[in-house]
Amino acid sequence: MVVLSACEEVYLPKPAGYNRIDLPQNAYQALPDTFPYSFVYSNYAQLAGDSNKNADRYWANLYYDDFDALLQITYKDLTQGDNEAKVLLNEAFALAMRHDVRAYGIEETLVALPRGQVASLTQLEGEVPTQLQFFTSDSTNHFFRGALYFSTATKNDSLQPIINFIKKDVLEMLKSFEWKY
C-alpha cells in the first residue's frame, strides 16, 4: 500500500532561477584635476592608473570590484607624435566591429556632450568580450576611448543587469565630459 501511494505523487519541475544581483544607488564624483579631460564617475567604481606596459600617462581604469568589471579608458593627444584623429576613429570602429562575428546585436548611439560635441556609444549583445565601447574626439587636440570588460566566465545574458547599471554610469560620464584646453 505504501508503494502504491508513493506513485500517485505529481511531479512539478522547479521554476527557472536567477542569480540575485543587488545594485547600489547611482552616485557620482568628479575625476581628479590631473587629466586633460573631466567627467563624473561612479562612487561605486575605483579609479586607478592603467598598469599595462603600453599605457600612456592619461589612461585610466575604473574597477567595479563586486562585479569583476573593468572600464578601461584610453586617451591620445592628437598634437603629439603621429596620432591622427582619422586613424584613431577607424581603429575605434574596427575594435567594435571585430566582435560582429559573435555579437547578435550591435547598437550605436550618439550622445550629446557639453559644448556641442558628440560621443559614439556602441552596445554589443551576445557572448562578446566587451559589451560597451565609446569614444569622442575634438578632431584637433584630443581623442578619448573606453571599453567595458568582465573578468568572469558568466554568460552575458546573466550579466545584463550589471551591464545596464554600468551603461547608466557611462552615460553620466559622457554627459558630463569636457576637454581641458
Phi-psi region of 41 (alpha: psi -120 to 50; beta: other; left: phi over 0): beta
In this prediction the pTM is 0.81
> How sure is the predictor about 134, in pLDDT bands with cuts at 50, 70 and 90?
very high
Where is 151: in which H helix or E strand? none
> Does residue 98 carry a pLDDT above 80?
no
Task: Convert the pLDDT of each residue in 140-154 to its tens digit.
Answer: 999 999 999 998 766
Q: Which domains are assigned to the chain? A: 47-179 (3.40.1000)
Confidence at residue 167, expressed as pLDDT on a 0 to 100 scale: 94
Rounded Cα distance between 89 and 110, Å, is 14
